[in-house]
Amino acid sequence: MSVHSARPVRGTRDILPEEMALRNRAEQIISDTYRAAGFEQIETPALEDIDLLLGSEGGENLKMLFTILKRGDKFRPAEDSEPKDLCDIGLRFDLTLPLSRYFSANKEKLALPFKAVQIGNVFRAERPQKGRFRSFKQCDIDIIGDPSIGAEIELVHTTGEALKALGFTDFTIKVNDRKLLNAFLGNKGFTDEQIPSVCIVLDKLDKIGQDGVAAELTEKFEDLSAEEAAALVAEAAQMTLDTAAQATGLDDAASDLKLLIDTTNAAAGGAYQAVFDFSLIRGMGYYTGPVFEVSYGPYGYSVGGGGRYDEMIGKTSKQSVPAVGFSIGFERIIGILEDEGRKISDDEQTFVLFYDLKDDLPAVLAASDGLKAEGKRVVLTQKKKKFGNQLKHAEESGAAGFMVFGRDEEPKLFESKES
Amino acid sequence: MSVHSARPVRGTRDILPEEMALRNRAEQIISDTYRAAGFEQIETPALEDIDLLLGSEGGENLKMLFTILKRGDKFRPAEDSEPKDLCDIGLRFDLTLPLSRYFSANKEKLALPFKAVQIGNVFRAERPQKGRFRSFKQCDIDIIGDPSIGAEIELVHTTGEALKALGFTDFTIKVNDRKLLNAFLGNKGFTDEQIPSVCIVLDKLDKIGQDGVAAELTEKFEDLSAEEAAALVAEAAQMTLDTAAQATGLDDAASDLKLLIDTTNAAAGGAYQAVFDFSLIRGMGYYTGPVFEVSYGPYGYSVGGGGRYDEMIGKTSKQSVPAVGFSIGFERIIGILEDEGRKISDDEQTFVLFYDLKDDLPAVLAASDGLKAEGKRVVLTQKKKKFGNQLKHAEESGAAGFMVFGRDEEPKLFESKES
């Protein structure tokens, strides 16, 4: 019999107990913060209809779909079959599109504004690289049915508080508004069709600088002279809320962003800050208003992001409903907590209860249940001949103490744990 | 623009906030019980290699695989393509096979015996029916590396305690041993190849009775006379641990089961009971020893099950390692809790904090954060013109009280909540 490889599927990973304990505590902190702020948790299936996924404005994510083969008689392959001919289901690539479908399907049972928490895995067939996986967890909060900047204020504040509760400080929440960006680029003569490609290039400002962005724009748009491109990029890079309002005439959008930034900063009391960043794009095509992104310390990637997507629910519902969401990149948060060797408080004490199969087993279980009732965690372990080794191993594994059934009346603390 | 259907994929479902709150509390109770008993949570990806899945002894589940299309150049359809030619990945149908692979991949980092908790969704393309879904949650505990009945005792006791902690009483844990069953049927002249089909028929004893089972066996096996079939079924139906030991000569297996049953019952103190049931089969082909199943009240389905699978880890590892697991059918547990209208304690109090966008917003957030710091859950809500309606709605939605920013110094309890 041949032995099958035990490696997980390419781009996915197994989670060991130590990391899992950290993940569970982090998820609990995030979930408690969201729930205390009045958000309600919901869940949607990992599977979604393939036409719904392909019909979304998921940008690059649509190229990374995992798609599921039709079953039974519906599976009819041909030489020129396209993936979408053979598949009826795909794995979700984010939690926003499923939430929109969910809201449309269940809106009679939900009061507006509906404040949702979702915590779940999403799937993208990306080229695997360090810290980037094909299955990863996201933690989203969304507010559906509130068209005002009050929704953005609540989301940004609650996300900031969740990150603070996880022990993060000095992070920055960058905010921008798609309406300002679109109006600015429209004034420069770009058509609605061109604007997304301009944005993709502008998004690289952090990485390739003003000269790099200007050069790429000149290359991409024949009508654009090198001078015009350089001027446009310089203007964008130096944009403030005041100049954005002047350049676009969108005074309301600019003053809403100002209210969002000022309120967030006042409530944060210096623990983190919100700033205007006109070069913040966010890849998804479905954003219609304010967008946000969290950057932290020296890490060259965002640890969260979101924005307003007022048109998406209209795709699965006759009525369009305003909506805005903020997603925490759970895997990146965990990666940073591990990188920085940070612990999230855990005062749990584990005791090893040694026993023998020949002991009075109901009494062994009663002793174990008694310790658990006192709030202790108990690892039942059969005594071996080399008991000294077992004891040493128990101590090394982090247990606080041990008890030998039939010999000890009470658990003993290991010497290293005695204060 | 056409509107896309908002229904979830066939056989899957959306979870509304009220059910989700119940699910989260139930999951927490199960997880706390497992963790207190020394089990450690781990996680594996929902995606597994298709050859690993197809090479397992997953029985009927292999006909219900969701399989994922190969991507890019590897997708090469032809008229005679089989699903397995076009797919490289499948969705897991249980948590046991992934755990075995996980153990083989990570065994250098895990101490033996390894006691694992897994909580996650599994996927089966079953014909949808009431209470049965294509994506559903399982909660498993497994002990790897302990060949003794001590492992079964620990699993059965811990699972019983988890169900008890959820408020279940008077449930029955049926136990049997594949070795006894195989020896009994071998003695009756069935070959190793025939025994699984005999078991499939015997498994229906509850549903179609002794006569029905005997008739099916006669039909299936030409060599078996109606009298022989009737005698075999009657013997099986009346089997006790003593007669099983006599019939098979497997005294150790029978006395191990006796120890498991007696210890479980003594520790349960009457809250639930373990019983020997020689007609308990459990569908999976991979079980090698004791098997268990939980039945509860009038429900004609099991709410949990498991068994020993000592040969499975050898498929992904050069060394075979003994293993045994017990799985709680989470969806069925939730269904029963909902059917019986039972609540799991939740003393959380929600307050609605009404505000206006023109208020001092940092002060609004500070008021909200202050209430949360006192342990209250706060739903921020913008005041509308019809404030009376809003208040009424807040009370009906279950909130304990409310506070109007700028008017009230302290939150007020709704009259219905005052004791």
Instruction: Quote the CA–CA distance of B39 and B143 in Å, as a whole number.
Output: 9
Residues of B in contact with A263 (CB under 8 A): 361-362, 365
The fold for domain B17-46+92-339 equals: BirA Bifunctional Protein; domain 2 (3.30.930)
**A227: closest CA of chain B, how far (Å):** 41
- pLDDT of res. B59: 78
**B212: closest CA of chain A, how far (Å):** 31
pLDDT digits (tens, 9 = 90+) for A246-256: 999 999 999 99
DSSP percent split of chain A into helix, strand, coil, nearest 5: 45, 20, 35
> Does A76 have pLDDT greater than 60?
yes
Residues of B in contact with A52 (CB under 8 A): 4-5
**B233: closest CA of chain A, how far (Å):** 34
Instruction: Find, in chain A, the residue whose alpha carbon is nearest to that of B33.
Output: A372
* CA-closest candidate to residue B382, choices A31, A152, A88, A219: A152
pLDDT digits (tens, 9 = 90+) for A65-75: 999 999 988 99
pLDDT digits (tens, 9 = 90+) for B103-123: 999 999 999 999 999 999 999
Sign of the CA dihedral B384, B387, B390, B391? Answer: positive
Which pLDDT band holds residue B276 (cuts at 50, 70, 90)? very high
**B122: closest CA of chain A, how far (Å):** 11
The answer to whether the CB atoms of A47 and B157 lie below 8 A apart is: no
- pLDDT of res. A266: 95
Contacts of A295 (CB under 8 A, 6+ apart): A171, A172, A174, A302, A303
The residue written with tokens 């929600």 in the block is: B350
Which of B10, B12, B47 has the most A C-beta neighbours within 10 Å, making it the best mutation to test the interface with A? B47
Give the residue, B99 or A131, on which the prediction is more confident. B99
The answer to whether the CB atoms of B382 and A83 lie below 8 A apart is: no
CB pairs under 8 A between A and B: 275
Give the residue, B418 or B292, on which the prediction is more confident. B292
Residues facing residue B143 across a β-bridge: B115, B324
> Does A2 have pLDDT greater than 80?
no
pLDDT digits (tens, 9 = 90+) for A261-282: 999 999 999 999 999 999 998 8
Q: Which amino acid is at A90?
A: G
Instruction: Quote the CA–CA distance of A199 and A194 in Å, as a whole number.
Output: 9
The answer to whether the CB atoms of A86 and B77 lie below 8 A apart is: yes
The residue written with tokens 């032995």 in the block is: A3
Residue-averaged pLDDT of chain B? 93
Q: Tell me what the mean pLDDT of segment A360-373 comes to.
A: 94
> Does A197 have pLDDT greater than 60?
yes
Give whole-number Cα distances, A109 to A112, A163, B331, B391, in Å.
10, 31, 21, 19
- CB distance A70 to A50 below 8 Å: no
Instruction: Find, in chain A, the residue whose alpha carbon is nearest to that of B315.
Output: A3
- CB distance B95 to B122 below 8 Å: yes
- pLDDT of res. B341: 86
> Does A419 have pLDDT greater than 70?
no
Share above pLDDT 90 across residues of chain B, in percent, rounded to a whole number: 82
Sheet with A401-404, edge to edge strand ranges: A377-382, A350-355, A401-404, A412-413
A350-355 vs B87-91, strand pairing mode = unpaired
> Does B12 have pLDDT greater than 90?
yes
Residues of A in contact with B121 (CB under 8 A): 46
pLDDT digits (tens, 9 = 90+) for B257-269: 999 999 999 999 9
Tell me the CA end-to-end span of chain B in Å, nearest whole number. Answer: 54
- pLDDT of res. A378: 95
Which of B34, B68, B119 has the most A C-beta neighbours within 10 Å, making it the best mutation to test the interface with A? B68
Residues of A in contact with B402 (CB under 8 A): none
Q: Tell me what the mean pLDDT of segment A123-128 comes to.
A: 90
3-state secondary structure of A399: coil
> Does B339 have pLDDT greater than 60?
yes
How many whole angstroms from its chain centre is CA A327? 5
Residues of A in contact with B259 (CB under 8 A): 361
- pLDDT of res. A345: 66
> Does A35 have pLDDT greater than 80?
yes
* CA-closest candidate to residue A178, choices A98, A279, A318: A279
Got the DSSP string for A320-378?
---EEEEEEEHHHHHHHHHHTTPPPP----EEEEEE-TTS-HHHHHHHHHHHHHTT-EE
pLDDT digits (tens, 9 = 90+) for A158-172: 999 999 999 999 899
Which pLDDT band holds residue B2 (cuts at 50, 70, 90)? low
> Does B1 have pLDDT greater than 60?
no
- pLDDT of res. A128: 78
Instruction: Find, in chain B, the residue whose alpha carbon is nearest to that of A5.
Output: B316
Which helix (H) or strand (E) element contains residue B351? strand B350-355
| Lowest mean pLDDT segment, chosen from A27-41, B19-33, B58-72 | B58-72
- CB distance A237 to A222 below 8 Å: no
Which pLDDT band holds residue B250 (cuts at 50, 70, 90)? very high
The residue written with tokens 């960006």 in the block is: A181
> Does A283 have pLDDT greater than 80?
no
* CA-closest candidate to residue A306, choices A208, A178, A202: A178
pLDDT digits (tens, 9 = 90+) for B149-181: 999 999 999 999 999 999 998 899 999 999 999
Q: Out of A12, A86, A316, whose CB is closest to B86?
A: A86
The answer to whether the CB atoms of A365 and B263 lie below 8 A apart is: yes
Q: Out of A6, A45, A105, whose CB is closest to B101?
A: A6
- pLDDT of res. B207: 87
**B321: closest CA of chain A, how far (Å):** 14
The answer to whether the CB atoms of B38 and A150 lie below 8 A apart is: no
A17-339 is a CATH 1.10.540.10 domain: no
Q: Out of B67, B77, B369, whose CB is closest to A78?
A: B77
Instruction: Quote the CA–CA distance of B179 and A159 in Å, as a whole number.
Output: 55
Instruction: Tell me phi and psi for residue A304, to 5 degrees.
Output: 180, 160
> Does A418 have pLDDT greater than 90?
no
Share above pLDDT 70 across residues of chain A, in percent, rounded to a whole number: 99
Q: Out of B47, B102, B361, whose CB is closest to A263?
A: B361
The answer to whether the CB atoms of A77 and B75 lie below 8 A apart is: no
- pLDDT of res. B292: 97
> Does B419 have pLDDT greater than 60?
no
Q: Out of A17, A67, A314, whose CB is closest to B42?
A: A17
> Does B382 have pLDDT greater than 90?
yes
Note the residue count of chain B: 419
- CB distance A120 to A138 below 8 Å: yes
**B383: closest CA of chain A, how far (Å):** 12
Q: Out of A3, A51, A69, whose CB is closest to B4?
A: A51
Residue-averaged pLDDT of chain A? 93
The answer to whether the CB atoms of A69 and B87 lie below 8 A apart is: yes
Give the residue, A99 or A196, on which the prediction is more confident. A99
Find the angle CA(B36)-CA(B39)-CA(B43) to the nearest 5 degrees. Answer: 125
* CA-closest candidate to residue B29, choices B333, B287, B316: B333
Domain with CATH 3.40.50.800 in chain A: 350-417
Domain with CATH 3.30.930.10 in chain A: 17-339
Whether pTM exceeds 0.90: yes
Sheet with B47-49, edge to edge strand ranges: A47-49, A87-91, A67-69, B67-69, B87-91, B47-49
The answer to whether the CB atoms of A267 and B149 lie below 8 A apart is: no
The fold for domain B350-417 equals: Rossmann fold (3.40.50)
Q: Out of B31, B66, B267, whose CB is closest to A362?
A: B267
> Does A78 have pLDDT greater than 90?
yes
Q: Tell me what the mean pLDDT of segment A217-242 comes to.
A: 95
